Amino acid sequence: MIEDTQIGKIVDIDKKGVINLPIGHFVIVNSKHRLSNLYPKLSIYGLGSCIALILCDYVHNICGMSHILLPKTTKKIIKYPHKFANLSAKLLMQELINHGAKRDNIKAIIVGGSRIFDLDDNIMGVDNIGSIKEELNKLKIEIIKEDTGGSKGRIVIFDSKDFSLYFKSTGQNDFNKFTNSK
């Protein structure tokens, strides 16, 4: 039983129009922020073995992002369901639908899943990638962009104004950009 699917929902935006997403949290954006009149940028800094899951309905201009820490849980009571890939994908999809997205229009972008510590048994990133792909496959959500694996952390910034994704690995000077043509 999930205590409250709204736990972990972020609505605060900083003065620069950025919503920083901590582990186990999610955000839904479908218009200008009501208080700041800005299109927020959604960001995750220091993304290592975690996964940034971005779901978008490009037709209805609704997107959501969650910051996933672990592949799955079997616990009965979950306080922060977006910490787990096996729960976050389904819940984030449902949130988008609740905000006007159409199920058949939802597409996914996944970033993260690094192996940042050189240890033989450090497979959390690999497990996270596998789990989120499995969940998206179950939900029949197409992955349209992926930047996963490797051995470096990442920064992810999603611009809700034009639905562009900016991402870079530790040590890179410039961001890579992905823009989906609607």
DSSP letter at 31 equals S
Specify the pLDDT at position 74. Answer: 85
φ, ψ for residue 27 (rounded to 5)? -145, 145
Cα separation, 182 vs 35, in Å, equals 27
Quick check: helix, strand or coil at residue 110? strand
18-68+88-103+115-179: CATH number: 3.30.1330.200
Quick check: helix, strand or coil at residue 87? helix
Taking the model in full, what pTM does it have? Answer: 0.89
- In the chain, where the domains are located: 18-68+88-103+115-179
pLDDT, tens digit, for every residue of 123-161? 789 999 999 999 999 999 999 999 999 889 999 999 988
Cα separation, 152 vs 114, in Å, equals 6
Specify the pLDDT at position 17. Answer: 80
Cα separation, 159 vs 56, in Å, equals 12
Cα separation, 94 vs 89, in Å, equals 9
